[in-house]
Amino acid sequence: MKQLARARLIETALRVRGFCAEDAVLLSCDPRSGSTWLSEVLCAAEPSAVIWEPFHLEHAPRVRAFGFAWRQIIPPDADWPEAETLVRAILAGRHINSWTGWASPAADFLRARQLLVKCCRANGFLPWMLRRIAFRRAPIHFLRHPFAIAASQLRMGNFSTGGMDADLARGRYAGAGTDTARYIRSLTSDEERIVAMWCRVQQPALEDPLTQAQAVRMHYETLIAEPAQEIGRLFAAWDRPVPAGVLAHTGKASRMTMDASQLGNPAAQAGKWQQAFSDRQVSRMSRVLRHFGVTVYDESILPKETAPAVSGLSAAKGRHPAAAGGPAC
């Protein structure tokens, strides 16, 4: 009962304060990608509150009722107005519950200047969102080496691939991915399937020119190696100076960190996955990347492509025509 009352209080406060989807700071990422750490760094920049994983099917009944998959893909130009209404409400803080609101104290929601929406399950429809929502600050498309994500998910033990077959057939537009679904089902190891699902979900955003232009692509490996440069690049895309003291938070482990022993050694931290897999496993995962035509990562530790330049998105810049005509707050 206390959790329900807390959620209603937060929802009411956010509605009264007039937050809307365009105001959201969207962090589009993957499970075990380092996104919690980045969200904590960004919350140190100015008064913020985190909307935590609002597309997690076990904890998002409205999303589940829509028939979303765990890794929902929506074609960039798809016409799905009901989903747009739902997504807008989520980004504006209209669907708070004990899950989506747990990461920030209630007081943070009451005084927040920004809502940081951390989504590990939105990469597959990031291009679609960018065509419908004129974000005032460019969303963050946050990537980490898929081999590192596979190693971390397998180590954590609660990211089973057992339900992957069913999820590949779930959700609107599942039929559009029949070939990739067949390929993923043909793979025999958990690590290959995790990497293949990463490719399937990331591919739309990686290949979409609008996403490249209007989202800030950041790589975990580059961020831990050059935090001042990368945080500076992000705030430059937002047409804002880097707030004083924010860089000090890049040296702190996040609440979700399982092993902080290598935090002071970026190369070792980025390359921990190399200790988890044999050469044969790495070769097989690399074959998956080649199958999907993904070139941003390979068998080496660092990303192979420089993050694309981002057009700064202040209130009136760089909007897609469809988004520019969308509703205001």
List Cβ neighbours of 21 (8 Å cut-off, separation of 6 or more). 87, 88, 89, 91, 92, 133, 135
Q: Both tokens of residue 284?
A: 């097989």
What's the mean per-residue pLDDT of the chain?
88
DSSP H or E run through 201: helix 190-207
pLDDT in tens, 302-314: 998 655 554 433 3
Domain 2-317 has CATH 3.40.50: yes
pLDDT in tens, 191-200: 999 999 999 9
CA-atom Rg of the chain in angstroms: 19
Mean pLDDT of 14-35: 93
Does pLDDT of 318 surpass 50?
no
For the chain, which residues make up each domain, given as ranges? 2-317
Specify the length of the chain in residues. Answer: 329
Half-sphere exposure of 262 (CA within 13 A, CB side): 13
Q: Interhelix angle for 190-207 vs 178-186, to 10°? A: 160
User: Dihedrals φ, ψ of 184, to 5°?
Assistant: -60, -40
